[in-house]
Chain A
Amino acid sequence: MTARAERAPWLTLKMREAMEAWIFLSPTLIGFLIFFVGPLIAVVVYSLSEWNLLSQQSTFVGLANYDDALFRNPDFWQVVRNSIVFAIGLVPLNMALALALALALSRRFPGVIFFRTVFFAPVVTSAVAWAIVWKFLLQGEAGFVNQMLAGIGIDGPNWLRHPDWAMVAVILTRVIKMVGLNMILYIAALQAIPRDYEAAARLEGASNWQIFRMIIWPLLGPTTLVIMVITTIGSFKVFDHIYLMTGGGPENGTLVLAFYIYQQGFQFFDVGYASALAMIMFVIVMTLTIVQLALRRRDT
C-alpha cells in the first residue's frame, strides 16, 4: 500500500485540543467570574464608598470605611478579639478531639461504624435544630446541663447569657457539631498509613506513644495542615451558630466578625462599611492561611 497524503485540517491537533479544553472549562469559568470574581470586585468597590442600602445613595469616600473600622470604631477591635478568642478556643480543641476520636475509631472493632456515625451525625444536622436543642440544654436553672451539674453539687451559670461563659458555650457546642468532619479526615489519613510502619516500629521496641509521636504524627502532617487551615477559616467565618445561639450577646461578648458584617450590612444597611469589614476579614484569613502554610513548609 502507498501512503496517501491527507490535506492538512484548518485547525492543528494542538489548537483543536485547546479549543475543546476551553469549551469544557467555560461553564465553570463563567460561573467563577460571575459568582466569585464579580462580587469580590464589587465588595472592593463598595468598601470605598459610603452606600446606604435604604437611601440607595453611593458616594466615593476612599479609605474612610477602613479608617473607621481600624482606628475610630472601638467595637471593631472587640469583634476582632472575639473572633480570635473563638478561633483559639475552637481550632485546637476541635483538632485534638478529632484526632483522639480518629485514633480510637480508625481500627476495626465491633460497633465502630455506629460510633463513627454518632460522631459524624451532628455535622449533617441542621444548624437551626442544633441551636434550638442546645439553647434548651444550656438554659439557666431549668437546663439539662445545669441539672446534671447540680447533681454533682456544681451550680452552673446561665451559659448563653453570662458574659464570661457565653463564648465558652458557643465554642463547645460548635466543636461538638463540627468535630466529626475533621475526625473523618483524620481517619482517612490514618488508614492510608501502611500498617508495616507500626509493625516495624513495634519490633524495634517503640512504645505506643513513641509510635504516635515519631511515626504517626509526622505522617499526619499534611492532613493536619489542611484541617488546621479549613477549621481556622471556618471559625473566622462562623455566622449561623452565633446568630442562632446568642445573637452576638451578651454585651457583644460573642459578636464575631462575620456576624458583625451581617449586622452592619443587613441590619444597619451600611453596605460600604460592611464591605470594608469583609475585606479586612479576607486579609486576616488569607494571612493566617499563608502563615500556616509557611510554618508547615519550614517544618518539612
Chain B
Amino acid sequence: MSSLTLRNLQKSFGRVDVIRGVDLDVADGEFVVFVGPSGCGKSTLLRMISGLEDVTDGELRIGDRIVNEVQPARRGVAMVFQSYALYPHLNVRDNMGFGLKVRKVPVAERQRRVTEAATLLKLDTLLDRFPRELSGGQRQRVAIGRAIVGHPDVFLFDEPLSNLDAELRVHMRAEIAALHKRLGNTMIYVTHDQVEAMTLADKIVVLRDGRVEQVGSPRELYERPDNIFVAQFIGSPKMNILPASAAGGFGAQPDGTVHVGIRPEHLSLVAPDEGHIVGKVVIAEYTGAATLLHVTLAGGETCLVVVDGEAPEPDAQVGLTAHPKNLHYFDADGLAFGLSRA
C-alpha cells in the first residue's frame, strides 16, 4: 500500500495546457475521487499517475519514490478502464492472469492468485468464458479482478461504471466500496457523477479546467463549498445561486456579498405572507419520494425547491424560508466568505 503526492503537476498537449499545477496528498489506504465536468482533466490526471501519460512538469510521488520517469508497470499501480479493456480473444482466466504471465510468474502461483481473486469477486464459475459471453457487470468485475491479481499498491479507476445501467451502477458502487474496505488499498477513482463521488469517497477532488477547485470530504464539500462552481457541482439538484438583492429577505448578509447560495432541500414552503421571499410555482416535477418545484421569484430568478409530501400546483404563490446556517455567501469572484483566490 502507498500514499501519493502530487506537487505542481502539469500536463500540456502541444500548446494546450490540460493540467495546470495540481497539488494533492493522498494518504495510504484512502479512497479519493476525482470529479469534474467533461474535459476538466480528471482522466488525464489519472493517466499521468498510471504512467500512460508523461508528466510535463512537477513532481509525482508514489510512496517515497518519485515516479515521473518510472515505467507504468513499475509504479505499483493497476487500472480499471471505462471500456474494461478486456482482451476479447482471451477467456476470463487468461485475462486475469495476463499481467502475471508477462511478468513470468510461475503457473501454479498464477493460478492460485487468479482463483483467489475470482472467489473474492464471485467469478469462479465464469473463468472459462470469453468477455463477449459476459454481462456488463460481470465484465466490470473481471476488469477489477485483473487489477487485483497484480497486488498493486494503488488502484486507479477511470469512470468504471459509466457503461452500466442505473440499477447495476448502484450495485457495483456498493461492491467497489466493499472491496476497498476489504483490501484497504489506496484507490483513486475518476467520475463525472457526483453521486458516485459522494457515496464512495473518503476525499473528493473537484477539478475544473485542469485545476483543483476544492479538496475535502463529501460532507465538507456539501456543507462548506469554497466557491460557486463547487457549490453547484456537488449536490443534486444543484444549489440555487441568487443575487444578493433577491435573497435579502433571508436576513443580514456579510458586507460585499454578491451571491447567496441555498440548496433546494434547505428551502421550506410557507404561506406567501410568512415567507422570507415570495415566488410563483412554474413547474412541479413529482419524483415519488419528493416533488421538485421550479419557483420564479419577483426579480425573474428561478429557484428550485424540494418538497416532501403535498406540493402546491403550478401558478400557486408560495413563500420560502431558510435557516441562516444553510445559507452560503459568495463574493464578486464567486468565492465563499473567508476565502480568497491565491
Contacts and interface: CB of A to CB of B under 8 A. Distances in A.
A197 B98 contact: no
B271 interface: no
B81 A204 contact: no
Contacts of A201: 87, 98, 102
B98 A204 contact: yes
A298 to B, nearest CB: 15
A210 B50 CA distance: 20
A196 B160 CA distance: 13
A107 to B, nearest CB: 15
A184 B118 CA distance: 41
Contacts of B89: 218-219, 221, 300
> How many A residues touch the partner, as a band?
10 to 19
Contacts of A205: 73-74, 99, 102-103
B52 A204 contact: no
B102 A199 contact: no
Contacts of A214: 98, 102
A290 B78 CA distance: 44
Interface string A161-205: 000000000000000000000000000000000101101111111
Interface string A201-225: 1111111001000110011010000
A203 B73 contact: yes
A219 B88 contact: yes
Interface string B101-144: 01100000000000000000000000000000000000000000
B152 to A, nearest CB: 9
B168 interface: no
B140 to A, nearest CB: 14
Given A204-B102, A205-B103, A199 B87 contact: no
B44 to A, nearest CB: 13
A203 B72 contact: yes
B77 interface: yes
A197 B87 contact: yes
B85 interface: yes
B38 interface: no
B41 interface: no
B103 to A, nearest CB: 5
A200 B73 contact: no
A299 B311 CA distance: 66
Interface residues of B, number: 21
Contacts of A300: 89
A201 B103 CA distance: 11
Given A207-B102, A214-B98, A214-B102, A202 B87 contact: no
Given A196-B81, A196-B85, A202 B52 contact: yes
Contacts of A197: 85, 87
Interface in A91-116: none
Interface in B38-83: 50-52, 72-74, 77-79, 81, 83
The winner among A194, A205, A210 for most chain B CB atoms within 10 A is A205
A201 to B, nearest CB: 7
Contacts of B78: 203-204
Given A196-B81, A196-B83, A200-B79, A206 B72 contact: no
B150 interface: yes
Nearest to A199: B52
A199 B98 contact: no
Nearest to A196: B85
A202 B85 contact: no
B161 to A, nearest CB: 16
Contacts of B79: 199-200, 203
Interface in A206-257: 206-207, 210, 214-215, 218-219, 221
A300 B130 CA distance: 12
B53 to A, nearest CB: 10
Contact of A203 (B50, B83, B87): B50
Contacts of A199: 52, 79, 81, 85
Contact of B85 (A200, A206, A210): A200
B87 A215 contact: yes
B45 to A, nearest CB: 15
Contacts of B102: 201, 204-207, 210, 214
A90 B287 CA distance: 69
A199 B146 CA distance: 14
Interface of B: 50-52, 72-74, 77-79, 81, 83, 85, 87-89, 98-99, 102-103, 146, 150
Given A199-B79, A204-B146, 18 more contacts: A196-B83, A197-B87, A200-B79, A200-B81, A202-B72, A203-B50, A203-B52, A203-B72, A203-B78, A204-B73, A204-B98, A204-B99, A204-B150, A205-B73, A205-B99, A207-B102, A219-B89, A221-B89
5 contacts: A203-B77, A203-B99, A204-B103, A204-B150, A205-B74
Interface of A: 194, 196-197, 199-207, 210, 214-215, 218-219, 221, 300
The 5 closest A-B CB pairs, nearest first, are A204-B99, A205-B73, A196-B85, A200-B85, A206-B102
